[in-house]
Structure 1
């Protein structure tokens, strides 16, 4: 039998890492294969295990890697480890192969040992187990790639922290108020090559440390702030820190527009993805300021635009017109039952986004002509969600205004359009419904949905649902959501 050299084997096994079944079957071929495959399997941890017994076996292996000193400390504090953990030192230093450290996994191991479910993360005497598990990972893992941080343990003071976190690529701080303040400053001195930074929660006293961490990064590309608070001072300094990274940041996710002043938006000249979620109870001046900065910003490389809770159809249209035509996804959700300039956005997309694949927005019947242009110009669109705004009209209340939209979809939909959502706030005739579904026979609707509008107006009747069921039975509609 021809022997394959180690480099070739390593390449093959790494290519197979997306299919753990194949790798597991290769483990038993011989000792050399086993030594090559084990590090690959443990690099990202097989954490998607749903089987409780399998997960417990995995956790027991991790606990088996604890040092004698750690075990003694736990014993002295009346923490009894499972009798099923390995009595001998494991054949491999499994933990050292891990490239991702998640606080959630530490929590699950503690819950297995204690037999309790912890919600707040305050583990009582089991904080000693939390401490020793983190010490284990930090001392053994060299240059982890991703870290999910949710503990008040002084991790950056543990032995090996400067090596463990020095090449960190992705950092998610799940509850920043729980993170030791000094650790943020220490992390900024150790970790300088973050590409992804995700912040959940808000703490005013942690902002200086967070700014220090942001300033230390040389190639920060993706930032996400999940500030779910109703009250709090605006943080001009944080906005300025983001502006200083304007040349590198290409992805922005912002949960609350209240805390970070939007002036930094004009500095993000290389932005490819922007996702903004505005709390519906924010004041008018805050919304207007954000909309004004969106209007004067330019993101020529933009590919994904998602805005929730801001009625900024005109501003979004202006952004689209300033791009280089590479937009693939646009999702706009508004909190206003009556919005202006909805047609401007659809028209801008039709004229400037030939490669768009997904669009979800609001519109009124006057905008239906723009939908025709959209379908004619955008031949790659896969998903289209057209949600109805409240519509005031002097027309006969029996007029089926939605038929115009369905007729346009019937005549002009490209073959690529296999996922469709329409608003329940327009009236549709049953005949128009049936004609539309008949036109979908060749391409099939893998997804068809009906969405309520902001005021929960619904004109979908039992007759419409009977037609929908018919086409589901005939496999024209694969999935229906109402």
Structure 2
């Protein structure tokens, strides 16, 4: 029998990743196959280790890779490891094969090692010692880690192998509760090729963070969470320098997420993000001044290549969003809008902008006012790729329900299979039935939002009938039916 070359075998084994049982059996064929399969298995953790027994075996293998000096240090400090781990020398340098590393894995390993002690009252010195040795293990041995979560006080940059480990990162998530400015500055000297940077718990300018952003050559994805660290306003500062640093990277950043519960960052940097494709704004801060400033820069910004827009803001202005959409090139496929502002205006202006400038849109979540039905008709006529349509009400009872359903019956594209409409609107049974009949021959998901004040037992029976017919695949109204 002619022998397959190594490249062919690797291709076959990578395909078998979808079937881990078959891949495991390949380990036992011969030594060559074993050496080819083991790196693939370790590269694809954690999909293979679902049950507790498999996870514990996996974690024990990781611990067995500790150096003899680390094992001895843990033993001397009364951190009990099994005798098998202490004496066993792994067949492979498994840690060097890892393409993953996060704090969740370490937490699971600690729970296994300390058992009940970890759940009740564990000696903090033991935990810190164990964590330090585990971090040293991964940082010294892993050469291909692309994603890392930095959420520890441990001096990771001082560990052996840190230069190689951190210089190859693509994605870095930083929790500023644990990291000081000097550590961030040192990281900026090592890590210059990040494509993704996620910052949590930011409440003021940090020089080291500014240096880290400035050091990146091709930063594409940025996510920032602004939050007061100790629950008080004493540490609350400003993020003016952070705003300027983001502006300096405006030509490369194409994905931006802002999570804000405090008013700290000026939004002037938005006008510099000329390459933006994905924008997510998730604001819980009700500062009127912050909102006016945010809307000002949103209105004058231009994101011609924008593809996805998600806005959650308690003081949302639909007019400014409409102005933003009108300046795009028609590539938007996803728009999600959420607000608690019951007095919001210009919902129709936003719908009109979407219908005229977003021909490729597939998913739309927004609000519908009592005078906006004409824009729904235009939307359905112009946006024939629409798959998901969610139309919320603004806490106002209205008789537009039947007219809305009639428009959906007449103008919905065939691909529209996920619909949510407001419970603030009234729907007659006859039109309700006609709407579901219009989907006969198709399958779709149907939900009612806000309230179900005008949804009667007859409405519920209609939904149940079309669910039994196989036309409705899911509806939240089914939860109200007593089985």
Output aligned runs, 1:81-120, within 5 Å.
81-83=81-83, 85=85, 87-115=87-115, 116-117=117-118
Q: Which residue of 2 aligns with 1:470?
A: 465
Q: Cα distance, 1:389 vs. partner?
A: 1.2
Q: Which residue of 2 aligns with 1:302?
A: 306
Q: 1:314 aligned to 2:315? A: no
**What is the CA–CA distance in structure 2 between the aligned matches of 1:119 and 1:458, rounded to whole Å?**
48
Q: Which residue of 2 aligns with 1:23?
A: 23
Q: Which residue of 2 aligns with 1:379?
A: 384
SS of 1:165's equivalent? Answer: helix
CA distance 1:185–1:121, shift in 2 (3 Å): farther
Deviations 1:28-50, CA, capped at 9 Å, x for gaps? 23221211121122124225733
**What is the CA–CA distance in structure 1 between the aligned matches of 2:152 and 2:140, rounded to whole Å?**
17
**What is the CA–CA distance in structure 1 between the aligned matches of 2:153 and 2:406, rounded to whole Å?**
59
SS of 1:223's equivalent? Answer: strand
**What is the CA–CA distance in structure 1 between the aligned matches of 2:48 and 2:421, rounded to whole Å?**
35
Output aligned runs, 1:358-397, within 5 Å.
358-391=363-396
**What is the CA–CA distance in structure 2 between the aligned matches of 1:155 and 1:362, rounded to whole Å?**
48
**What is the CA–CA distance in structure 1 between the aligned matches of 2:19 and 2:253, rounded to whole Å?**
33
SS of 2:467's equivalent? Answer: helix
Which segment is superposed worse, 344-353 or 458-467? 458-467
Q: Cα distance, 1:305 vs. partner?
A: 0.2
Q: 1:412 aligned to 2:417? A: no
CA distance 1:51–1:336, shift in 2 (3 Å): same
Q: Cα distance, 1:27 vs. partner?
A: 2.4
Give the TM-score, by structure 1 length.
0.92
Deviations 1:442-479, CA, capped at 9 Å, x for gaps? 2211x221110xxx573222222221112112211111
Deviations 1:108-149, CA, capped at 9 Å, x for gaps? 111211115579999432211100000000110114111122
Give the number of aligned pairs.
469
Q: Which residue of 2 aligns with 1:292?
A: 296
Deviations 1:41-81, CA, capped at 9 Å, x for gaps? 21242257331111111100001101110011111111111
Deviations 1:303-352, CA, capped at 9 Å, x for gaps? 00000014121111111111111100000111111211111111111111
Q: Cα distance, 1:4 vs. partner?
A: 1.7
Output aligned runs, 1:214-233, within 5 Å.
214-229=213-228, 231=233, 232-233=236-237
CA distance 1:48–1:472, shift in 2 (3 Å): farther
Output aligned runs, 1:432-471, within 5 Å.
432-445=431-444, 447-452=445-450, 458-471=453-466
**What is the CA–CA distance in structure 1 between the aligned matches of 2:267 and 2:34, rounded to whole Å?**
53
Which segment is superposed worse, 351-360 or 219-228? 219-228
Q: Which residue of 2 aligns with 1:191?
A: 191
Alignment check: 8 A CA contact 2:397 2:425 kept: no
Output aligned runs, 1:250-261, within 5 Å.
250-256=254-260, 258-261=263-266
Q: Cα distance, 1:204 vs. partner?
A: 3.8
CA RMSD of superposed structures (Å)? 2.2
CA distance 1:225–1:157, shift in 2 (3 Å): same
Q: Which residue of 1 aligns with 2:481?
A: none
Which segment is superposed worse, 153-162 or 463-472? 463-472
Alignment check: 8 A CA contact 2:203 2:237 kept: no
CA distance 1:122–1:388, shift in 2 (3 Å): farther
Structure 1: segments with no counterpart, 5+ residues:
394-399
Output aligned runs, 1:38-437, within 5 Å.
38-46=38-46, 49-83=49-83, 85=85, 87-115=87-115, 116-117=117-118, 123-173=124-174, 175-202=175-202, 204=204, 207-229=206-228, 231=233, 232-256=236-260, 258-279=263-284, 281-309=285-313, 310-391=315-396, 400-437=399-436
Deviations 1:225-263, CA, capped at 9 Å, x for gaps? 122448532310111111111010000010017222111
CA distance 1:108–1:4, shift in 2 (3 Å): same
Alignment check: 8 A CA contact 1:425 1:457 kept: yes
CA distance 1:248–1:16, shift in 2 (3 Å): farther
Alignment check: 8 A CA contact 2:181 2:209 kept: no
Which segment is superposed worse, 214-223 or 182-191? 182-191
